[in-house]
Chain A
């Protein structure tokens, strides 16, 4: 519905002139549209990233605990101390394990949704992945605190089916075991997988949907069985999607600090180190240097993923 054009009011005249200007010089309109979001992202976000890098080249005076505002590589050198190097190694190992497990668990869901789910079931699968993806992160972590608690449902179920001794045997494994599931690496790992699994399913499903049916038929015509087709045709074609998903699971695990803080044996992860260093310890330079590590790891990871064609699957 268009308002009837009456006498040209001043406001209307300005609008007409601007319209003519935008028509003649589309670049001006483009610049006007882009200026507010770019200013925001440029100042608030890129500015902050630069501040982060900047802080990481400062250091802290070991005696007074005051930040020395002079450029130095000393803080990065501290990352190589055994206790800090351990944190990095532990986090990367966890991220790799979580990524592998997510890929294995995600595959049946993604494959079923892409190939066999039709109509109503397609919507069920879509919502079935989308809702856990979006629902509250903290609520999800809390749910697992209830599940993994020593007096919780897992212990109850294990005792119920007579597998209580099996659970104790698993928990007595050194390193990954612990006092209870909620204070062991097994627990931390399980919760990580649970929380990031939807991020793996979605790109995997998208890339599986793009595998042409004709290829699968050709494979069957050439005499390949189901497993052979899966291994030699479907998986290689779906690989970019799997790698795209692994970018999320890997990066999100690298940067998380809530999960290992709430469920785990209080061994440090990169995120926890960053949080405690900037807070109670007041060592912002070292916290910043720690935060740069995931960025560097992800840059390398992204470079490899790009080479494997994962970006077309995002």
Chain B
């Protein structure tokens, strides 16, 4: 095969594939403006912007939104601490059980969400732990660790040991080295990891359905959306919320990409 020009069928397949991946999302935006609220009629009979105002005034949307923001914030902060610690240990030394630990970190996201969810559900049943915001957060933090870890471990590897040794030679103690050498170098990788973790947690639905219980008080925004999907009420309002959820995940991912682009370890390679 000549390597300078791709055959037409390959180009068509590649571009067709990318369009297949992107076009469906656009419909979400279109249907937020439709005047038809009882069905998904295409093309929409008319266009209106009233649904944004309706969504804003719907009292049942705000509590789930805040709960999602709270859970995602706490979970990604916890994941930041735990993931960075783990990356620091794994990057600096080879030791017995190292492969087991890396498997353990990846497992919560490698196994289907239903297993993580059902496992936590079983544990809550065994230990008689009642559902609350904290049970949701517990699950989210667990699968977010790997996201931060992946970003941090790559940066640690690039940092190498020479800078740390130089810092020690110049008389810095371990904490000063951490504060003035490691942290500034790690900054963007941690920011990127934290944002990806936030996006992942904000959008998560499968594990959450197992750890949230059935009460209204523990309804995250994705669970609210899932309810609307099963029993639709004002369909365009669901689209408005879908746009919000889409943006809340899309923007952090884009930011994480630009924060880490240029470095060889671009964020998001291992979801």
Contacts and interface: CB of A to CB of B under 8 A. Distances in A.
The CB with the most chain B CB atoms within 10 A, among A42, A127, A216, is that of: A127
B1 A15 contact: no
A71 interface: no
Given A26-B93, A144-B24, A202-B269, A109 B17 contact: yes
A3 B210 CA distance: 50
A256 B114 contact: yes
Nearest to A198: B21
A142 B244 CA distance: 14
B21 A128 contact: yes
A284 B123 contact: no
Contact of A139 (B21, B112, B242): B242
A130 B258 CA distance: 13
A243 interface: no
Interface residues of B, number: 102
Nearest to B176: A2
Interface in A77-115: 105-109, 111-113, 115
B40 A152 contact: yes
Nearest to A280: B214
B259 interface: no
B225 interface: yes
B172 A140 contact: no
Contacts of A242: none
A142 B238 contact: yes
A135 B252 CA distance: 10
Q: Is the interface of B mostly helix, strand, loop or mixed?
A: helix
Interface string B2-33: 11011101111110111011101101100100
Contacts of A49: 115, 119
Interface string A147-164: 101011101100000000
A213 B4 CA distance: 12
Contacts of A235: none
Contacts of A136: 203, 222, 242, 245-246, 248-249
A156 B17 contact: no
B112 A284 contact: no
B229 interface: yes
The CB with the most chain B CB atoms within 10 A, among A15, A22, A44, A284, is that of: A44
Given A2-B170, A126-B266, A294 B225 contact: no
A130 B31 contact: no
Given A2-B180, A134-B253, A252-B112, A34 B101 contact: yes
A87 to B, nearest CB: 13
Given A23-B168, A45-B116, 8 more contacts: A5-B171, A33-B86, A51-B122, A108-B13, A112-B13, A213-B3, A251-B111, A256-B114
Q: Across the A-B interface, give the 7 residue pairs with the lowest CB-CB distance, nearest first.
A: A255-B112, A108-B13, A112-B14, A48-B119, A51-B123, A33-B89, A226-B1
